Amino acid sequence: MSSANLSHAETSERARLVTVHAYRVDVDIRDAANPDVDTFPVTSSIDLTSLATETWLDFLGEVDAVEVDGTAQPVEHDGARIALSSLPTGRPCTVTVRARGRYSRTGEGLHRFVDPADGETYLYTQYEPADARRVFPNLEQPDIRAPFTFSLTGPAGWWLGSNQPAASREEVADGVVRVGFEPTRTLSTYITCLVAGPYHRVTDTWGDMELGLMCRQSLARYLDADELFRLTKAGLDWLTANFGEYPWGAKYDQIFVPEYNLGAMENPGLVTFTEHYLFRSPATPAQLQGRANTLVHEMSHMWFGDLVTCRWWGDLWLKESFAEFMGSHVSVEACGFADGWVNFATSRKVGAYLADAMPTTHPIVADIPDLEAAKTNFDRITYSKGSAALTQLVHYVGLDAFLAGCRRYFRTHAFGAASLADFIAALDHETDRDLSGWIAAWLETSGHDRLSAHVDAHAGRLAGLRVRRDTPAGDSADRPHATTVGLYALTDGSLTLLRRLDVVIAGQETAVEVPSGLPAPDVVLVNDQDQTFARVELDARSREVLLYHVADLEPLARAVAWTALWSDVRAGLIAPAAFVAAVLRAGETQSGVLATLLDRAFTALDRYSDDPPVAALWREGGRGAALDAEPGSAEQQLWAKAYLRAAALAPEDVRWVLDGGIPGLEVSVDLTWLAWQSLATQGAASDAELAAALAADDTATGRMAHLRAVMSRPDPTLKEDAWRRAHTVGGETNEAVDALLAGFRAPGQDALRAPFTDRYLAGLLAVWREHPIEIAMRLVRGGFPADGAEAGRRWLSEHPDAPATLRRLVREEIFEADVAARVRSANAVELPAAERATVD
């Protein structure tokens, strides 16, 4: 194992032997705007007590000097670890390291970005799970916490920021200042941060606290500060009322940064967000709710994860599952977004179902042996399945008891590290429920149950109802499900609710008590209020009716039904064409549900079928829906974008959209680029046309959109160029790699990518060894061949000793390729002949 890949065993031992009392870190970025300067000086002084004479510090950079209590020590640095020897034992000492960090272009450590719109340079840090060591020497593990005192030296005209407010500012050279920040309270390394650059900043207040919002100068017009401050205040009101006083001082800054690998990061006092949340085009209600969800998610981390952090990444759920739950819950309860749980059900939760069905699934409380494994466990199981499990827990113990348990947990472990056992101990004080079985069933097992309803009917009346629970093969977990079953009947051609029945599903089969005299239902929808986490398998009658009448259901039940139908597509029970036709018929208006359905329909055509008439049906349906939608509405935007994407599969000149052919549609920069990418994929966009589009939007986002469009053209030379550039070590930024791979994987071009299969497999180990993990993960996922399942299995058998995380990624790509192959060959429900005839 590389020395950069820290293991849980060795960090546990280091935490036992070493206590850190304080950090003092000085970083000098005065030359950051000079593109010829690749490194920055840093001095890290650490007050610690060690019970052993030897330990190590973590640092990914160049080390110039090491001192212990002012005495120079030999520099022993292998590129990742600085060896410390001859330490005094049992008493405090100070270790000082003078070093040089390297500016990042991959979103890890101290990322440097030059804005093409005005040439300005912007810096920010991103550390989770273990990239603070790219900026300053430290003990890089979550359970070794200490106060930090940062100072930052940089250009006088820049905003220089950190977790805490500035305490001092002095000029150290002409045009150069040194800003010292107030000491933090006790923190883990991964939630410290530094930001520098000529950021645009606006402020407000919440009580005695200063609120700040920041972004690049060229994006200031997109910073909708009034709405963002409204959400911030609403979130702080709710969270402090339910969790206690905000623990991190007198400021709460939120900054939107470029080329960000995540949605956001919960650094106390200075939260970083991707600037994709500054919308350059009209935002749909679902996009606004999604941003609010993320804002509250990060804010709840001020308690879950920051005030009390996990001892190691196996308890990552203690912060991420809770924050995911709070993002949806508080966006509904405090921020005015009634559709928060609907959007969760139709999007993020479905991603968790897909991940939990893979052979690489893991329990919510996972076994994380090392940092590489931790990196891949920031996934849909930890976040969204964990949130769904917490929904069950809240139903089980009650919301009041749950919140009281959280408050007790924060009081007991404030500014420390904790584990699952610590949280459950706090909750046990607030409820008389036995939580041992719940923990074992929901947190310590992987996979999820399949729930199916079985109806007994006589003479048109409902005589009995049973719900069967099937567990995955080899899974002996006894997961109870407290949920509802919705019974629906077709009345005058419309689906109406007959009755919603509460049920606790336990054991292999559960009889549901039904009122006498109910007519036999046409649809039985288990979990129709989305209260549990399980695959809902529809019976044949319910499946048939829902394909035509799913739109009649209320939003949350509709989201559950669409998820069940999509699961049936992936299981080979519904043909992709039938699903696409159902989406066209439904007339969905809830923007979160609609956006998800449009993505799934495109996947059904692009990956799960090869049926040009159905692709044409989808294209024409998208055109018609965009023209028929209310002008300027979210539905019109979404359908117009669906039409543009569909034209890449069923070629059609879409320039008429750019010329205002859809009345009332705002032809935004994002929609314009989607049109050019569609034309490029068809081979119908010239160099001159794409260059003109870039000239009209020569921004960072515009340049990446242009790069993607160029590489989307069906030209083998361009595919070779995209492959070469993406795989050049240190050659491209993280977002450029994304754009290159998106162009390389443009829809309908599997044949052009086929020659790269052998190169992909032959280069996997080198990719993993030579690239930073953020880039390596992109290359492994983005380069996997569409029909590469068998080749991937051979690679796995030939490389049993390959890094476990790399093998996991390959196994996941094989799984998805197998799903696509199975759906393509399945004998499933087909598109009715009458509908097919409209495009044949």
Strand 71-73, strand 62-68: pairing: antiparallel
Q: List the structure tokens of 288.
A: 């606004």
- Residue written as tokens 């179902």? 353
SS3 per-residue string spanning 755-821 = HHHHHHHHCHHHHHHHCCHHHHHHHHHHCCCCCCHHHHHHHHHHCCCCCHHHHHHHHHHHHHHHHHH
Using the Cα atoms of residue 381, residue 383, residue 387 and residue 388 in order, give the sign of their dihedral: negative
Exposure string of 414-428, with b = 16+ CB inside 10 Å and e = fewer, is eeebbbbebbbbbbb
Q: List the structure tokens of 572.
A: 């080979």
In whole angstroms, what separates CA 433 from the centre of its chain?
Answer: 33
Q: What is the CA radius of gyration of the chain?
A: 28
- The answer to whether the beta carbons of residues 232 and 708 sit under 8 Å apart is no
Q: CA nearest 322: which of 351, 337, 302, 352?
A: 302
- The answer to whether the beta carbons of residues 632 and 666 sit under 8 Å apart is yes
From CA 58, how far away is CA 310, in angstroms rounded?
19
Spell out where 459-508 has E strands. 461-470, 481-491, 494-505
- The answer to whether the beta carbons of residues 529 and 497 sit under 8 Å apart is no
- Residue written as tokens 């002095």? 170
Q: In what order do the strands lie in the sheet with 159-162?
A: 109-114, 121-126, 194-197, 159-162
> Nearest 5 degrees, angle CA 427-CA 433-CA 439?
65
Q: List the structure tokens of 643.
A: 């039409």
Catalytic residue among 298, 372, 537, 732: 298
Strand 481-491, strand 450-458: pairing: unpaired
Q: List the structure tokens of 320.
A: 């991420």
Active site annotation includes 298: yes
**Catalytic site positions:** 298
